[in-house]
């Protein structure tokens, strides 16, 4: 995969988030690749303290959902609007998956 489970760093060459740690962040993605290793990578990242604090997905992937459930990482999907229209990199995002609430505070832009 493109995420190093031990560091939480995206290491996919040319990836827009290359060398950025996902640890402690809300990860907004279209979908995961559906790899059978996704639950294990999330578990290792969680144990190392480098897992995302929440997922916001356009499309749900069963293996990512399983990884989130096992590791108690909130996941929201099937939002009324495309999350990429609502959220930009660096925005402050609060996810309350139990209530189905997503709060976005845009970061200060120059």
Which residues have C-beta within 8 Å of that of residue 64, sequence separation ≥ 6?
31, 32, 34, 38, 42, 55, 57, 75
Does 107 have pLDDT greater than 70? yes
More confident residue, 39 or 12: 39
Domains and CATH numbers, the chain: 26-105 (3.50.30.10)
Mean pLDDT, range 76-82, rounded to an integer = 92
The chain-wide mean pLDDT, for the chain, equals: 90
DSSP string for the chain: --B-TTT-BB--TT-TTTT-B-TTSEEEES-----TTHHHHHHHHHHTT-S-SEEEESS--HHHHHHHHHTT--EEES-SS-HHHH--TT-EEEEETTTTEEEEEPPP--
Residue 77, sorted as left (phi over 0), alpha (psi -120 to 50) or beta, turns out to be beta
Q: What is the model's pLDDT at position 110?
A: 65
pLDDT at 56: 96
Active site residue 35: yes
pLDDT tens digits along 15-67: 888 888 999 999 999 888 768 888 999 999 999 999 999 999 999 889 999 99
Q: Which of 21, 31, 35, 36 is catalytic?
A: 35
What global pTM score does this model have?
Answer: 0.88
Quote the percentage of the chain above a pLDDT of 70.
97
């Amino acid at each position: 995969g493109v995420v190093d489970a031990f560091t939480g760093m995206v290491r996919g060459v040319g990836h827009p988030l290359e060398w950025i740690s996902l640890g402690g962040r809300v990860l907004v993605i279209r979908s995961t690749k559906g790899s059978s290793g996704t639950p294990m990578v999330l578990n290792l990242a969680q144990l190392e303290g480098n897992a995302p604090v929440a997922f916001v997905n356009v499309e749900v992937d069963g293996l990512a959902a399983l990884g989130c459930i096992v590791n108690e990482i909130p996941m929201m999907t099937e939002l009324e609007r495309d999350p990429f229209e609502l959220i930009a990199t660096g925005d402050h995002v609060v996810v309350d998956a139990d209530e189905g609430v997503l709060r976005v505070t845009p970061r200060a832009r120059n």
